[in-house]
Structure 1
Amino acid sequence: MKNRITHIGILVLILLACVACGDFLEERSQNMAYVENVSDLDELLIGEAYLSGGLTMDSIDADLISNWASILSVSSVNRVYFPYIHILDDDSEEYVSGGYMGTTEKNYLRMKGERLHTWQADPFYDSEMLEIKDLNWSDYYKRIAALNSIIFQVGELRGGEDDKDLCNRVEGEAYFLRAQCYFWLANLYARPYCKATADTDPCIPLKTSEVVEDRYFARDPMADVYGQMVEDLQHAITSLRGIPQTTKYRTNQAAAFALLSRVYLYMEEYEQAIACADSVLKKDYKLLDLNDYKRGNSAVYVNSPETIFTHGPNIMAIIHAPAIRYTAAIYRTSTFTSSSDLMECFDATDLRRTAFFIQRASPAEGYRCVKTRFDIDEVSDIMAIRLPEVYLNKAEAQALAGMDDQARITIQELRAKRFRAADLNPVTESGEALVNFIRDERRRELCYEGHRWFDLRRYAVNSVYPFTKSIEHVSLEVVNNTQITVRGKYVLKPYPEDIAAYMLPIPSSAIDFNNGMLVNEVRNNREIINE
Structure 2
Amino acid sequence: MKNIFKIVYACLMLSIVSCNDAIEIEQPGRLGAENAFQSVSDLRAGLLGAYNFLDTTNEIGLTAAMTDETFKGRDNGGQNNDEQNFNINSSNGYAFGIWTSYYGAIGMANRVIQAAPSIDATEDQEDYDNVLGQAHAIRAFAHFQILTYFSPDYTDDSALAGILVTSPAEDIFEARPRATNGEFYTAISADLAMATDLINASEGVTFMGADFVTALKARIAAYRGQYVMADGYAASLLADYSIADQTEYAAMFEDADFTEVIFSLERSIGDSYDGQGLSGGGWAGSLFAFIDASASGGPFMEMSRSVYNILAGTDDVRLTRNLNVAESTVDPTYQTNDNSINDDVLLVFKYPGGTQPLLNDLKVFRASEMLFIRAEAAADAGNLTAAATLLKELRDARYGAAQDLQVFANETEAFGAILDERRLELLYEGHRWVDLKRLGNRGNRAIDRDAKECENLAGCSLPNSDYRFTLPIPLSETTANSGVEQNRDY
- TM-score of the aligned structures, taking structure 1 as reference length: 0.72
AA matched with 1:280: L
SS across alignment from 2:302: strand
Q: How does 1:505-524 map to 2 (within 5 A)?
A: 505-515=472-482, 517-523=484-490
Q: How much has 1:94 moved relative to structure 2?
A: 1.5
For residues 337-378 of structure 1, give each alpha carbon's deviation from its aligned partner in whole angstroms, at most 9, with x where no partner exists: 111222333372323212332235421225333234321596
AA matched with 2:74: V
**Partner of 1:416 in structure 2?**
396
| Structure-2 change in CA distance of 1:184 and 1:117 (3 Å) | farther
AA matched with 1:399: A
SS across alignment from 1:425: coil
Query: Does the 8 Å CA contact 1:298/1:372 hold for their aligned counterparts?
Result: no
The reply to whether residue 307 of structure 1 matches residue 261 of structure 2 is yes
> Given the alignment, which residue of 143, 146, 153 partners 1:192?
153
Distance 1:385 1:191 in 2: 23
| Structure-2 change in CA distance of 1:394 and 1:235 (3 Å) | farther
| Structure-2 change in CA distance of 1:420 and 1:146 (3 Å) | closer
Structure with the higher fraction of residues in strand conformation: 1
Q: How does 1:439-478 map to 2 (within 5 A)?
A: 439-460=419-440, 465=442, 467-470=444-447, 472=449
The reply to whether residue 426 of structure 1 matches residue 405 of structure 2 is yes
Distance 1:30 1:293 in 2: 47
SS across alignment from 2:398: coil
**Partner of 2:380 in structure 1?**
400
For residues 37-65 of structure 1, give each alpha carbon's deviation from its aligned partner in whole angstroms, at most 9, with x where no partner exists: 22211111112333478xxxxxxxxxxxx
> Given the alignment, which residue of 42, 45, 55 partners 2:44?
42
Structure with the higher fraction of residues in helix conformation: 2
| Structure-2 change in CA distance of 1:123 and 1:170 (3 Å) | same
**Partner of 2:318 in structure 1?**
352
| Structure-2 change in CA distance of 1:472 and 1:48 (3 Å) | same
Distance 2:368 2:415 in 1: 17
> Given the alignment, which residue of 83, 86, 91 partners 2:64?
86
**Partner of 1:343 in structure 2?**
308
Distance 1:46 1:474 in 2: 46
Q: Which moved more, 1:425-434 or 1:218-227?
A: 425-434
Q: How much has 1:89 moved relative to structure 2?
A: 1.3
> Given the alignment, which residue of 57, 70, 73 partners 1:95?
73
- TM-score of the aligned structures, taking structure 2 as reference length: 0.77
Distance 2:226 2:249 in 1: 39
For residues 113-168 of structure 1, give each alpha carbon's deviation from its aligned partner in whole angstroms, at most 9, with x where no partner exists: 2113322153747xxxxx9993542342222111112123234437x433222122
SS across alignment from 1:134: helix
SS across alignment from 1:145: helix
> Given the alignment, which residue of 422, 443, 459 partners 1:490?
459
Distance 2:94 2:54 in 1: 21
Distance 1:171 1:301 in 2: 28
Q: How does 1:225-374 map to 2 (within 5 A)?
A: 225-240=184-199, 242-245=200-203, 247-283=204-240, 285-290=241-246, 292=247, 299=253, 301=255, 303-311=257-265, 315-321=283-289, 335-346=300-311, 348-359=314-325, 360-364=327-331, 365-374=344-353
Q: How much has 1:429 moved relative to structure 2?
A: 2.5
SS across alignment from 1:93: strand
Query: Does the 8 Å CA contact 2:63/2:433 hold for their aligned counterparts?
Result: yes
Query: Does the 8 Å CA contact 2:73/2:345 hold for their aligned counterparts?
Result: no
Segments of structure 2 that go 5 or more residues without pairing to the other structure are 1-9, 18-28, 268-281, 332-343
> Given the alignment, which residue of 80, 93, 117 partners 1:113?
80
| Structure-2 change in CA distance of 1:222 and 1:14 (3 Å) | farther
Q: How much has 1:474 moved relative to structure 2?
A: 8.0
| Structure-2 change in CA distance of 1:231 and 1:345 (3 Å) | farther
Distance 2:372 2:94 in 1: 35
AA matched with 1:495: N
Distance 1:340 1:80 in 2: 22
Q: How much has 1:450 moved relative to structure 2?
A: 1.0
Query: How many aligned positions are there?
Result: 434
AA matched with 1:353: L
Distance 1:15 1:507 in 2: 29
The reply to whether residue 142 of structure 1 matches residue 121 of structure 2 is no
Q: How much has 1:391 moved relative to structure 2?
A: 1.3
